[in-house]
Structure 1
Amino acid sequence: MAAGEYGIARIDAGPFALTELLLPGRLSMVFSPVGLLMVSSLQAGRAELRSGDRHERLGSGDVCLDGRPDESRTLLTDDLRISSVLLPGDLVGRAADDASPRRSRPLHFTDLVPAGLRTAALWQRTADFARCAVLAPGGVSPLVAAETARLLAATAPVVFPNDLDTSPLMTTPLDYARRVRLDHAHTELQDADPGAGATGPDIASRRGFTHAGRFAAAYRRAYGEPPRTTLRR
């Protein structure tokens, strides 16, 4: 792309999307609330972001919450190149529900920048993983897209300060996402009818566990019994 040209690329992966923007020169933009959580990584240039009562000056390498789902925001750019991940606000809300099931209010992010350099790096690694998954040869499968979206949604409350207790997420987002899948498999095993042909390996596979033995071991550690016992109860 030649210098001075504007550019935009977008990849829709079903439950989330990735965008790349090239904005030469100086621009001022106002965005209305759209129910999406947008997390951006600045690849080059500078920007000023205002959202609610927050005002951040950003440069190359910075990560920011480029818009909370319920707020409009203003973005001033200077020769900006930026990569973003877009997530439905309700998907992030469900991740917060899983992390803090007794909460009585919606998730609200209290800052636009990560809590520290380590969490910023965590988001970068997670976003890179999502891009690799989407750009894999042959395209991304619906199951991988759904699990990647859950991983991104689980990572956002770890990275950006918020008003909820998300300490159960502070192992790693991958561990959290795996535990969520395990919980869903547990519920499905409880509800399934083995007489109708339901099997533990089939349920595990639907929940993204491709190795039956490792699934059974993880399940036993979490629930104190093998999957087949839950299924037959």
Structure 2
Amino acid sequence: MRAAFGREFRAQDVSRGGAYVIRRFDAGHVAYREMVLPAPLSFTKEPQGDLVVVSVVDGRVRRTLGREQGTFGAGDSFLGHVPGRPCSGSSAELHASAVTLPGELLARAAAIVEPRGDRPLRFTRHTPVDDRHTAHWDRVRAYARSVCDLGAEDVPLIVGPLAQLLAGAVLQVFPNTVAGHEPILADTRDATHSTAVRATAYIDDHAHTDIGLADIAGAAQVTPRALQYAFRRHLGTTPMAHLRRVRLAHAHAALKTADPLDGATVTGIAARWGFLHTSRFSAAYRAEYGRSPRETLHG
């Protein structure tokens, strides 16, 4: 427990009964932790640069964050820690998960939502907007867990987009000062055909690497929102949908040349090119090429 939580962690009357589980997945940009802690526990966390979203499966948590206090039970999600503020609390018979994101990742996500940077990112409430947003976070968190099950080394092209997805979901789910602003006029002016050409060239050259919307926009020398406008206006799609189609083409080429007798599998090739769910990959592949990826591999 000390190795997982650091010296800030304190336990009270730790029982010998019950199973203690701490499972951690760390890919640099994002950390996912699941914990089952039967004993009454207390914790403190000094101001740091990360944000932690806690989702309670069972048990109860009391948390003090700045001047805000809260008690959370099964089905609740909340901000357990925000950058630059201390927190403390206690738990009893806790079964929960925690997603940890660095402050700089949130700042980049905020810049996508609000390119002007007129307001610093600050969370105005530490619980989701409503039940619908809580359900959205639960779906995103479940996807993070599925990546955790695979392991970062097996899905290198998924880890970066996963971190961006989680950061974007946090801005959607938890009320803050930057989400919901209207785009500036410059974004629409930059949505030119040449912007789309620069972006597609970058995608073609870097589809095998861990790139996301912000990387593509930077290469095209526009804001992410302007890039999205350019793709809709001139290509009838989105930057990330175009990236998926390029990676699908690479997966198609890999399936055609791979030998199943050497251990090649549809799942392995799909994961190598950023497709985590084999069933979704198969559906997209069939829609694009008129046959299943398995037929291509064994053809």
The alpha carbon displacement at 1:201 in A equals 3.0
Distance 1:225 1:83 in 2: 40
1:45-64 to 2 correspondence within 5 Å?
45-64=59-78
CA 1:200–1:160: 2 relative to 1, 3 Å: closer
Letter in 1 for 2:117: R
Distance 2:97 2:37 in 1: 12
Distance 2:203 2:100 in 1: 34
Whether the aligned pair in 2 keeps the contact of 1:219 and 1:225 (CA below 8 Å) is no
1:121-136 to 2 correspondence within 5 Å?
121-136=135-150
* Residue equivalent to 2:232: 222
* Residue equivalent to 2:198: 190
1:82-161 to 2 correspondence within 5 Å?
82-136=96-150, 139-161=153-175
Gaps of 5+ in 2: 1-15, 183-190, 214-227, 238-299
Distance 2:73 2:144 in 1: 23
Distance 2:204 2:212 in 1: 11
The alpha carbon displacement at 1:121 in A equals 0.7
Q: 1:43 aligns with which of 25, 46, 57?
A: 57
Letter in 2 for 1:131: R
Distance 1:188 1:224 in 2: 7
Distance 1:199 1:119 in 2: 34
Q: Deviations over 1:33-90 (max 9, x none)?
A: 2211111110110111110121111001110111001111012111111101111111
Q: Deviations over 1:69-122 (max 9, x none)?
A: 111101211111110111111101110111011133321111111111010111
Structure that is richer in helix per residue: 2
Q: Deviations over 1:105-148 (max 9, x none)?
A: 32111111111101011111001111112323795422210001
1:17-28 to 2 correspondence within 5 Å?
17-28=31-42
1:55 aligns to what SS in structure 2?
A: strand
Distance 1:219 1:71 in 2: 37
The alpha carbon displacement at 1:14 in A equals 2.8
CA 1:18–1:219: 2 relative to 1, 3 Å: same
Whether the aligned pair in 1 keeps the contact of 2:196 and 2:231 (CA below 8 Å) is no
2:110 aligns to what SS in structure 1?
A: helix
1:66 aligns to what SS in structure 2?
A: strand
Whether the aligned pair in 2 keeps the contact of 1:8 and 1:20 (CA below 8 Å) is yes
Q: What fraction of aligned residue pairs are identical, expressed as a percent?
A: 34
**Do residues 66 (structure 1) and 80 (structure 2) align?**
yes
TM-score of the two chains, using structure 1 as the length reference? 0.73
Which has the higher Rg, Structure 1 or Structure 2? 2
Structure that is richer in strand per residue: 1
Whether the aligned pair in 1 keeps the contact of 2:21 and 2:36 (CA below 8 Å) is yes
1:132 aligns to what SS in structure 2?
A: helix
Q: How many residues align?
A: 198
